[in-house]
Structure 1
Amino acid sequence: MSESKLSPLLGSRDIVLHLWPKHKDLLSFDPASVAALLYLQLALPGHFSVAYCANPDLSPSGQLPFLTQGLYHASGLSSIIAFVRRHPNARNLDAGLSPLETAQLTARIAHVDSCYGDLVNHMLYSLQENWIDVTRPALISMLPVPQRYYVPARIRESHKARLEAVELWDVPEVEEEEPEEQRRVVFGKRRKHRPDPEAHHFKKTFNREQVVERARALFDVYDRMLGDDRFFMGNEWPTTLDVLFAAHSHVLLDLQLPDPLVTSALTSYPRLVAHCRSVLSTAFPPNSPFPPTHQQGWLSSLRCLIPWPRTPTSHRSNHAALEGSPEAREIERRYKLWRWGFIAGSLLVSAAYVLYAVSIVLVKDGDVVARIGADDAPDDDDESEEEEDEVGGEGEPEAEADADAAAEE
């Protein structure tokens, strides 16, 4: 797929999809970002651009992916899909489904997002070998300094609670400690409990088998649903379910993880692998151009450090911006006036503060100069005392001479 670069003069009303960056053969490192890209490419080709971003704080909800068009913000895959469906030039991927099939499709989308998403996150963040060799280095390469030193651990920690709840969190190198009453003290130090290697290996093997069984149960359901068809639901064009399922499969198949626990289970279902390739080839046919891409400059690192304010928009203003109506232009004009007014007010307050500080310094310097001048000026009392001392000093030798002459007579 060829990749075109977006002009710097991109209009504010163009649709921009903000995704996690690419990594090797992946369209994006995050399954939700891959799904959003595939959905827009299938439903709205040629009407959007891509901005790779590793700073979730730029999103209104603090999550990637998110979409912007003027003042409109759609954060999260479900909000992005809802936005695309309302677009006048968009193709409805789920058109032609009956109400029952639509309800089933919604339930299956939630099932894939939850169960398949947990398996992919288990591969990326829970398995220690994958985390050390692939996931953490990939995140570090995407993030600027200093975010690369603490954001990967924060992202992993954010997935830990969910994976622990579904019993998919396993870090083999963490050692279990004995209860407080069973600890022994050797030479004044508490000795850590070393688990039995055979028991630890058995536990690890048992946990891995559970993960594989869970993955096979998921793949069995969708393999039967797919059957001999190219896409789910028997359609000739991918549906939202196809896009979401293929996005997760794409991450597992094309990331080349050193511990292919779930990937090995997926490759044993050739129809699901072919389904993933079919969705990707439909969205990006051979020799087709990639959506225009924003070029990231040095300002992107600075933008990660500064907490830029997010733009809150109401439901009414979102639709107005989407349609490009005069009301939307008036809202944008008022927003610009408020923004420049805030900047001008901030500058005036800063200038007033600087002038006030300078005036205080000058007044204090004037007092100091006056005090120094007063200390340097001669005092009249001191001068009179010095004169008396000089007169008294001159008369004492004459008095002593008269006294010596009288004594001699």
Structure 2
Amino acid sequence: MNPSTQGLTLHLWPSKWNLPSIEPSCIVAAFYLQLALPGRFSIQECTNPDLSPSGQLPYLTHGHHTVAPLSSILKYVAALTPASISPVTGPDAPEPGFSADVDVLLDPSDRALRTAWIAHAESALGDLVAYVFYSIPANYAAITHPTLSSFYKVPQSYYVPKRICQAHQARLQANGLWNTPGKRLRQKTPSALTRKKRKRIQSRYIKAHFSASGLLGDKNFFFYDRPTTLDLVLAAHILLLVHAPLPDTLLSSLLSSSYPTLLSHARRVLAAATPTVPVHPPERYRLSALLPYPSFHTWWSEPRPPKSEEEKRFERMRWRWIGLAILGSVGYWFIWGPKLRFVKVENGDGDENLAIVVGGETVGLDIGDEADDGVEEEVDDNANA
């Protein structure tokens, strides 16, 4: 499926570390579409969040519709019917009663529980992921910054990663998790005091959220025998924390030793929901990427319809008129325009200066009353512009 067709196309941050993306909400969107519409969508990797209506990735395009952010994407996909999806024939055609809602079997009580836990997960685990990738100096210097820089070419590779880091700064500062990694990029081996402080922070956030392990118990998934949205949200955050080759392994070790059940759950979700659809790499850097507004970029990049013979004829006539106007202007200047001469003018002090004579008037030099006493030497009597 080509992303330029009328089919469903999910736009998200590029994949890395054997995950669909480097950002939790993008991973959740990719997992959800794989479970809801297997084989009926495509993925377009993107590095320009400004193309999204919300200014953040992911976003979904479906024909003339553009949907963002993640919560709106999930609602839009869940409400799709077989008639609204790109036509699929043969054995892959939707069955009667088809539903794209991953949580279709949940009763009202389970839906309320799901909504509460998702909000808690996105808040607590979202802070933890941002802290690990953007606030721990060793991780930011060795993994986060090089990964973001690799998505761009010069000059964007120099300033875009810093802008993304600054976007997380306010959130982390409000929670007391900001370590100003830009000032500590060279710190390779944190002191024992620093490690103890980080362990307290990570333990507090893990215990605050991973009480969800009690809800999971011995089950493979939270509610029934296939992942729901809650499974996807929880797994997306945990997978990023354990799959990325972070130099600081304190958190991954803590997860492995204290919460092996949640690690196993995250890996089951990855095996069940990894997208198997075409993935299109990000567009190459183009001059149009410097345009400040998405509408300008869209206008620049949109395909142009073929021109009719009448339109081609008028275009040729327009270019002929432009050519004649330019030729006439240049010819008038050379034939009937004022003649220019470059001359040397000597002032009263004996210094020589270069001046231009246009139609008998000297310009480009303020010689005052001393011009009458000066000696004018013509350099090119017939020089024309």
Deviations 1:175-209 (A, max 9, x none): 9xxxxxxxxxxxxxxxxxxxxxxxx9576345313
Contact 1:20 1:65 in 2 (8 A): yes
One-letter code aligned to 2:69: G
One-letter code aligned to 2:116: A
Query: What are the equivalent positions in structure 2 for 1:327-346 lying under 5 Å apart?
Result: none
Contact 1:123 1:261 in 2 (8 A): no
Question: What is the CA-CA distance between 1:70 and the residue it aligns to?
Answer: 1.9
Query: What are the equivalent positions in structure 2 for 1:33-72 lying under 5 Å apart?
Result: 33-72=26-65
- Distance across 1 between alignment mates of 2:165 and 2:339: 65
Pick from 279, 302, 309: which aligns with 1:293? 279
Tell me: CA distance 1:66–1:366, structure 2 relative to 1, closer, same or farther (3 Å). Answer: same
Contact 2:14 2:21 in 1 (8 A): yes
Question: What is the CA-CA distance between 1:243 and the residue it aligns to?
Answer: 0.6
- Distance across 2 between alignment mates of 1:258 and 1:368: 73
User: What is the match of residue 230 of structure 1?
Assistant: 220
Does 1:265 find its partner at 2:254?
A: yes
Contact 2:126 2:237 in 1 (8 A): yes
Contact 2:3 2:42 in 1 (8 A): no
One-letter code aligned to 2:290: L
Question: What is the CA-CA distance between 1:15 and the residue it aligns to?
Answer: 0.9
Secondary structure of the corresponding residue to residue 170 of structure 1: coil
Does 1:278 find its partner at 2:302?
A: no
Contact 2:27 2:236 in 1 (8 A): yes
Secondary structure of the corresponding residue to residue 57 of structure 1: helix
Query: What are the equivalent positions in structure 2 for 1:14-25 lying under 5 Å apart?
Result: 14-25=7-18
Contact 1:26 1:255 in 2 (8 A): no
Contact 2:127 2:172 in 1 (8 A): yes
* Structure 1 residue runs without a partner (length 5+): 1-5, 176-199, 312-334, 377-409
Question: What is the CA-CA distance between 1:363 and the residue it aligns to?
Answer: 4.7
Specify which structure has the higher proportion of helix.
1
CA RMSD for the aligned pairs? 3.6
User: What is the match of residue 304 of structure 1?
Assistant: 289
Higher CA-based Rg? 1
Secondary structure of the corresponding residue to residue 290 of structure 1: coil
Tell me: CA distance 1:365–1:75, structure 2 relative to 1, closer, same or farther (3 Å). Answer: farther
Does 1:208 find its partner at 2:236?
A: no
Q: How many aligned residue pairs are there?
A: 310
Query: What are the equivalent positions in structure 2 for 1:162-241 lying under 5 Å apart?
Result: 162-171=171-180, 174=183, 204-205=194-195, 207-232=197-222, 234-241=223-230
- Distance across 2 between alignment mates of 1:40 and 1:15: 9
State the TM-score, normalizing by the size of structure 1.
Answer: 0.66
Question: What is the CA-CA distance between 1:219 and the residue it aligns to?
Answer: 4.3
User: What is the match of residue 250 of structure 1?
Assistant: 239
Pick from 82, 88, 96: which aligns with 2:75? 82
Tell me: CA distance 1:91–1:353, structure 2 relative to 1, closer, same or farther (3 Å). Answer: same
Secondary structure of the corresponding residue to residue 49 of structure 1: strand
- Distance across 2 between alignment mates of 1:365 and 1:172: 64
RCO comparison, higher one (Cα < 8 Å, 6+): 1
One-letter code aligned to 1:121: A
Question: What is the CA-CA distance between 1:69 and the residue it aligns to?
Answer: 1.5
One-letter code aligned to 1:70: G
- Distance across 2 between alignment mates of 1:144 and 1:154: 15
* Structure 2 residue runs without a partner (length 5+): 83-98, 185-189, 297-301, 342-357, 361-385
Does 1:117 find its partner at 2:126?
A: yes
Tell me: CA distance 1:72–1:369, structure 2 relative to 1, closer, same or farther (3 Å). Answer: same
Contact 2:131 2:177 in 1 (8 A): yes
Tell me: CA distance 1:29–1:228, structure 2 relative to 1, closer, same or farther (3 Å). Answer: same
